[in-house]
Every structure is written in structure tokens, then in C-alpha cells.
Amino acid sequence: MNIKQLDKEYIANTYGRADVLFVSGKGSLIYDENGKEYIDLGSGIAVSGLGIADDGWIAAVTEQLGKLSHVSNLYYTEPQVKLAQMLCERTGLKKVFFGNSGAEANEAAIKCARKYASDKYGDGVRSTIITLKNSFHGRTITTLAATGQDVFHKDFTPFTEGFVFAEANNIDSVRMLAEENACCAVMMELVQGEGGVLSLTQEFVDGVARLCEEKDMLLVIDEVQTGNGRTGELFAFMNYGITPDIVTTAKGLGAGLPIGCAMMGEKTKDTFTLSSHGSTFGGNPVCAAGAVYALSKLDDELLNEVKEKSDYIVKELRNAKGVKSVSGMGLMLGIETERDAKEIVKDCLSKGVVCLTAKTKVRLLPALNIPFEQLKKAIEILKECL
């Protein structure tokens, strides 16, 4: 039996897989079982920011793997501390809690926000969290409850209570919910990724930040997808000039290994106390060593490259045949197309370009360091398929 048949037999049926078996890759090139080459504009859903099998990243990871692969969080380890220090120094946030995924990062943020309010106002007095309609925050029962899309709120009841949903880019809607409910936080993505690559307006984000200040609600920014250079700044909140109380990230942080975190600011840095939260694998030394290396590569030069490549893609596609509009920020772009997005992605795959969808759009999340020649070639092929 071949791999595709065995997958159908033994893997839970939760994924609609494309008809391709990838076996290797280097940078932004990826190869299937027949040796066919593809240009990767998806980077494993914004994970492989430095491309696949980056030499420096492999060296950092394998060096750590040979020294110490795991000891648990009952002990100190250097890569985890180094990573936390780098994250705090570059974001202005003060302390980090490590988990292994985006959903866990958001779970940590939700727990932290509730505990902040519990410490200050009493347990359960101010527990509601405002999130946005069309958001995506993860697949656990609580992060599904936080996700502002009805399609996710079935089959698994009862969900975690205490989430209400505001309209994105409508400050009155947030204000109304803040007045009707006893809220501890607003949690949102600055560019809604899974929801269709939709950026929040500066005016709305400023309004939410002011409202949070006014009502002593924490401003929690979900940067699981937008973080780690994806939007052309290290974190997307830097594009907006705001100071969040908690920022979560995952996907691109480990550059290919699973690691996520919640970063706490001045107000929340001491909210978690002994045994408030924990994780067996969280901040694993091998994943952390890879993340330290990846972060060290996310310098101004690479971030500028992200902006240049973004401008190039937008310019090429904005007026291209078959394109209705282009949205997003940096190398996180959504293309509303005349043809069905899923069909376009399928055609691209058969012509050797890997791209994604988000709702009704074609979504592009290339590696931040994709060579310009490969990007150009891939965009030409995409244009043919539009």
C-alpha cells in the first residue's frame, strides 16, 4: 500500500490533503516523491520563515540536539532563557511563558488575562473576553470558544464560557460589549489570517487601545500568524505603534519546530505565579535553540526585504487579470479572485507552485528569505492560473 492509502487508513480524517507527497526541500524549493520541484509560497502556513532546511538553523538545532534534547521545566536550560531575553528585548514585553503551539499560547494569554482580573477584582468578577467576529484563535475547546465564527461553535458543546464577539473595525461594537459585560480583556489578530487576510484599521486599533486603558481591560494581540517578521516588522503590533499587555505567537517562531509563547507586559508580567500554569514540553531546548537562531536572522535587512517583496507581489497582482483585490500586510497576502480560489491553488500545484487559501481568497505566505528570482517565477505561474 502506498503512503496516500495508508494515510487514509490510519490518520484521523481531519485534513483535506492536496494530492501530493512531499519528501524534501531546501529554502523555498520543495520536492515530491517523483522528484517534481515546487516553489513554496505557503511555508507550511507561515512556519518556515527561513525556508526549509536552512543551514544555520539545522546547525543550531542539531548542536542542541546532541547536547540536551529535553529535561522538563523543573530545571533551568539556556536556550529557553536566551530566547525569552531576546523576545523581551526586541518587543518591550517583560516576561514569557512557553508552550508548543498557537492554541496553547492563546490558552496561556486567556488564563493570564482572567487571573489579572481575578487578582484585582475577585475570581469571576470580570472574566469576559471580547474577541472579534471572523477571528481565529485555535482548536482547543477554549480557543474555539474565543474564535468569532459560528461554524466552529458546534459539535463540541459545552464550550468555555465568557467570550463575546465584536465587529472588526467598528469601535462602537467593542464599546457596547465592554459596557454590557464585565470584561478583563480584548483579544484580537491585527491581520485576520484564517478569516481572509483582513487588516484592522489604525483608527480601530487605536480606539481599542484607548478603550482598554479606560476600562482596565488588557489588550491581548494574537500574533500566532502575524509574528516573527511576517508583516515586515518583527511583530505586527509594531506597525500600529501600540503597546499590548499580552502578545502571543507560535507558527514562525520555531522556524519549523513546534514552539509558541505568550509574552506579558508591564501590567501582567507578575500575574502568573508558582503553579498558575505549566507545560511539559514548553520551551523545549531544541525548539528554543532553533528559535534563537531564527530570531537572530530577523534583522532590519531581512525585514526590509519582506516589505520589498510584498510591494512587488502587490504591484504584480493588484491589476492582474482575474484579480478583484489584494489584502494583507508584508508577506501575508490574500487575493480575492474571479475564479474559485481552491481551483487556482490546485492549478498552481500542478504547475509547481504551492499556495494556500483563506476563506474565498488565495493566500500567500512565502518564506521571508525567498530568493527574488523564485518569487518572480512563482508569481508568473500564479498569474497564469488566475
Ligand X SMILES: *Cc1c(COP(=O)(O)O)cnc(C)c1O
Among 114, 126, 137, 361, binds ligand X (CB under 6 A): 137
Q: Min. distance of Cβ 115 from ligand X in angstroms?
A: 21
Among 39, 168, 187, 224, binds ligand X (CB under 6 A): 224
**What track of x and - describes contact with ligand X for positions 88 through 107 (by CB under 6 A)?**
-------------xxx--x-
The Cα–Cα gap between 208 and 111 comes to 21
Interface with ligand X, residue 194, by CB under 6 A: yes
Bond from prior residue into 79 cis (ω within 30 degrees of 0): no
Nearer Cβ to ligand X (106/271) = 106
Q: Min. distance of Cβ 22 from ligand X in angstroms?
A: 19
- Map the footprint of ligand X across residues 30-69, applying CB under 6 A: none
Give me the sheet containing 22-26, strands edge to edge: 22-26, 29-32, 37-40, 353-354
Q: What totals of helices (H) and strands (E) does the chain contain, helices first?
A: 13, 17
Nearer Cβ to ligand X (187/382) = 187
- With CB atoms as reference, the residue minimizing the distance to ligand X is 102
Helices (H), 122-181: 141-146, 171-180
Which stretch, 51-59, 186-194, 328-336, 344-352, contacts ligand X (CB under 6 A)? Answer: 186-194
Among 40, 54, 107, 189, binds ligand X (CB under 6 A): 189
Which stretch, 17-25, 134-142, 268-276, 293-301, contacts ligand X (CB under 6 A)? Answer: 134-142
Nearest Cα to Cα of residue 197 among 29, 363, 41: 363
C-alpha cell at 197: 487576510
Q: Min. distance of Cβ 143 from ligand X in angstroms?
A: 7
Per DSSP, what are the bridge partners of residue 165?
A: 131
Interface with ligand X, residue 245, by CB under 6 A: no
Interface with ligand X, residue 231, by CB under 6 A: no
- Residue 198, burial from CB neighbour count under 10 angstroms (0-12, 13-18, 19+): buried
326 torsion bin: left (phi>0), alpha (psi -120 to 50), beta (else): beta
Which residues of this chain interact with ligand X, rule CB under 6 A? 101-103, 106, 136-138, 189, 193-194, 222, 224-225, 250-251
